[in-house]
Structure 1
Amino acid sequence: MSTATLTTKGQITIPAEVRKAMSVSQGDRVEFVEIEPGKFLLCAATRSMTELKGRFGKPDRPVSVEEMNEAIGQAASGK
């Protein structure tokens, strides 16, 4: 298990073996995702959203913003 120490400026150095396993290097971004209260997942955020273009195929038809908002509302309400 790797550990790091928090500096007085709130910074940490990610241990070399962790950086290697995550394939991150100087200048790359990482994200902290809260998976439950007090527990976070550290994720490499090195790819841009434009890299996802074309990975999911083309939709059958265009979807309006209103339809997207409705789908989000339904999912949030558990329907």
Structure 2
Amino acid sequence: MTAATVTSKGQVTIPVDVRNRLGLESGDRIEFSFNETTGRYEVFPATRSISSLKGIVKKPDSPVSIEDMNRAIAEKGASAR
């Protein structure tokens, strides 16, 4: 297990092997999330390039027109009332 020391100012130097596995570089931000199940904090990179989002959303089988999008939004809005 990799360890680090907290300074009197609450700062920690993240060990190089941890930075490499998380893909962190100088200036990147990280987030801390408490996992209720395990009772532990988890660390996540908060800075990602826009290109890392490529492929997350599947392309539709056929193009959707602006009119179709507006109609779907209006229908959802009407059903939410």
Q: TM-score range by the shorter chain?
A: 0.5 to 0.7
1:54 and 1:18, CA in 2 relative to 1: closer, same or farther beyond 3 A?
Answer: closer
- Greater than 4 Å deviation, 4+ residue runs: 51-54
The number of equivalent residue pairs is 66
- Alignment partner, residue 66 of structure 2: none
TM-score, normalised via structure 2 length: 0.61
Percent of aligned pairs with the same amino acid: 40
- Counterpart residue number, 1:43: 44
Structure of higher CA gyration radius: 2
1:48 and 1:23 map into 2 onto residues whose CA distance is: 11
The residue that corresponds to 1:27 in the other structure is 27
Whichever residue aligns with residue 16 of structure 2, its letter is A
Give the Cα separation in 2 of the matches to 1:52 and 1:23.
Answer: 15
Separation in 1, partners of 2:4, 2:12: 6
For the aligned residues, what is the CA RMSD?
3.3
Amino acid at match of 2:33: V
- Identify unmatched segments of 5+ residues in structure 1: 71-79
TM-score normalised over the length of structure 1? 0.62
Structure 2 unmatched ranges of 5 or more: 61-68
